Amino acid sequence: MTSGILEGKVAIITGAGRGIGRAHALELASQGAAVVVNDAGVSVSGDRGSVVPAQGVVDEIRERGGSAVAASGSVTSPDDCAETVELALREFGHLDIVVNNAGILRNAPLIDTSPEDFDAVVSVHLRGTFLMVREAARHWSAHPGTGRRIINTTSSTGMLGEPGQSGYSAAKAGILGLTMTAAKELGEYGATCNAISPVAITRMTEQFASAWGGVSEDAFTPFDPRNASPVVAYLASDAAGWLNGQVLRVEGNSVIRMSGWSRGSRWDGRAGEFLTTSELASAVPQLYGTFPAPMLSDPGNR
Lowest mean pLDDT among 2-6, 106-110, 127-131, 197-201: 197-201
CA distance 251 to 246: 16
172 included as an active-site residue: yes
pLDDT for residue 267 is more than 70: yes
| Separation of alpha carbons 205 and 165, rounded Å | 13
Average pLDDT over residues 242-256: 93
Confidence band, pLDDT 50/70/90 cuts, at residue 117: very high
Tell me the percentage of the chain whose pLDDT exceeds 70.
Answer: 86
More confident of the two residues 221 and 54: 54
- Please state the domain extents for the chain: 10-257, 263-302
Q: What is the pLDDT of residue 44?
A: 65
User: Does 234 participate in catalysis according to the annotation?
Assistant: no
pLDDT band at 252 (very low <50, low <70, confident <90, very high): confident
The string of pLDDT tens digits covering residues 133-151 is 999 999 999 999 999 999 9
For residue 299, what pLDDT band results from cuts at 50, 70 and 90? very low
Please report which confidence band the pLDDT of residue 297 belongs to, taking 50, 70 and 90 as the band edges: very low
Does the pLDDT of residue 301 top 50, yes or no? no
Which of 9, 30, 168, 169 is labelled catalytic? 168
What percent of the chain clears pLDDT 90, i.e. is strictly above it? Answer: 72
pLDDT: which is higher, 221 or 116: 116
Catalytic residue among 74, 123, 166, 172: 172
CATH code linked to domain 10-257:
3.40.50.720
pLDDT of residue 259: 87
Q: Residue 294 has what pLDDT?
A: 56
Closest by CA position to 60, among listed 35, 94, 88: 35
The whole-number pLDDT of residue 293 equals 58
Position 172 pLDDT exceeds 50: yes
Q: What is the pLDDT of residue 177?
A: 97
pLDDT of residue 296: 47
- 72 catalytic? Reply is no
Average pLDDT over residues 88-103: 97
Task: Read off the pLDDT of each residue in 16-42 and give the average, rounded to a whole number.
Answer: 94
Least confident span in 16-20, 59-63, 232-236: 16-20
pLDDT, mean over the chain: 89
Instruction: Please identify which of the residues 123, 155, 166, 237 carries the catalytic annotation.
Output: 155
What's the rounded Cα separation, in Å, for the pair 167 and 244?
27
pLDDT higher than 70, residue 49: no
